Chains A and B, each alone.
Chain A
């Protein structure tokens, strides 16, 4: 997109992969949060090649804004195809903002078991945290104006890119 002030998502992904490489072993569980985080986690999994499969969480049933916003339309099924107990895990999200999604993901994760430790990777950190949550691995930190948001998109070829949205107030 001409004049797009946002960084290239594919480059951020490459940066994220290099940051994470020393920390991801064959038994490390990568867990992508639907939907954008799942795309990022799939790509990380392909590049970092842990022995165990990639996992996916849809945190819709754990969100704290259900009463205000209801259930989203297309809830996906959470799939964690490995034992969580005593494992090193990395939660993967696309855009880190308030931290509430990560809170919900941690709650869901602990219904599966007690991991040895959980780290957080985000393609983009846009600040604005409302909870004491910090990522260990970040593709880029962005400063947005109030009312702006950034979303991750995936095209038909599987290429990732970021889009800027102006929220209607």
Chain B
């Protein structure tokens, strides 16, 4: 293999070739992405010619509106041609295998695949099989990873808090099913965040999650005490099997973020949510729309992050 054997996301020069997970990605590359994204925020000129003539294929095996749209906007602002494929409703339902789908798309001269898949590891699998000049970005795979979401969360936190080295952060809710939480935990650790907490009921926290270096809380008021950053997770009803939760109402009572619970965090704490939000389940509307919420800036920064990832990757040979 011509890719770096110890980390299949990197090429032999140690540069980013695919973006599959934030786990094991060197801090230097994370900072490079965050710094580059800054150059795309708030500029008068929205469109630059960097990826002119390149084709970005958004291949979504699982439905998503926001992530796909922000990838599409990002690619268009870099002047790439964007092709959106909603594979759930085409080839797969006709029985085509994942590799055949990828081979067919490669034959259409793709330069970059943005892949969302319900199965953990699918983007790795695709990255291992595409031609060496094609780049793969994971746009969310199963419970495993959602690296650009993790990066945009880091960008948002850096924007408001400047520095990670003194931050106490809490990740709240359905950690078990959340690829966002896993990406955040790896990114926080790599960027030097000293205290990472996860808060949730035992049934919605992965077994041995503390091995990732996080502190585990089951009580919101204990877990949120004096934190600088609260990142809420969506309760993923569609991924739940069996009776992990008595009801959404009960979840809200104990783990829904209300003004009252947020009051134990630092007064200048910020609240993040990857969206889509379940108002009245994991977050109260008064918090979601309140002055500590940075949920809409997250979406805007998400475009800049995706532009940065694409511009860095597509230039690495």
Contacts and interface: CB of A to CB of B under 8 A. Distances in A.
B78 to A, nearest CB: 8
B36 A75 contact: yes
A145 interface: no
Contacts, number: 45
Interface string B15-46: 10000000000000000100110110001110
A73 to B, nearest CB: 6
A66 B111 CA distance: 14
Nearest to A113: B44
Binding site secondary structure of chain B: loop
A64 to B, nearest CB: 10
Nearest to A77: B39
A128 to B, nearest CB: 24
A78 B48 CA distance: 12
Interface stretch (A6-14, A17-25, A85-93, A104-112): A104-112
Interface residues of A, number: 20
B50 A61 contact: yes
Given A58-B39, A61-B311, A75-B36, A70 B48 contact: no
Q: Which of A58, A68, A77 has the most CB of B within 10 A?
A: A77
A77 B43 CA distance: 8
Contact of B43 (A67, A68, A70, A78): A78
Given A66-B315, A71-B315, A107-B49, A76 B32 contact: no
A70 B317 contact: yes
B311 A80 contact: no
Contacts of A73: 32
A71 B311 contact: yes
Interface of A: 58, 61-62, 66-71, 73-78, 80, 107-108, 111-112
19 contacts: A61-B50, A61-B78, A62-B49, A68-B317, A70-B315, A70-B316, A71-B36, A71-B50, A71-B312, A73-B32, A74-B35, A75-B36, A75-B39, A77-B43, A107-B49, A108-B45, A111-B45, A111-B47, A112-B45
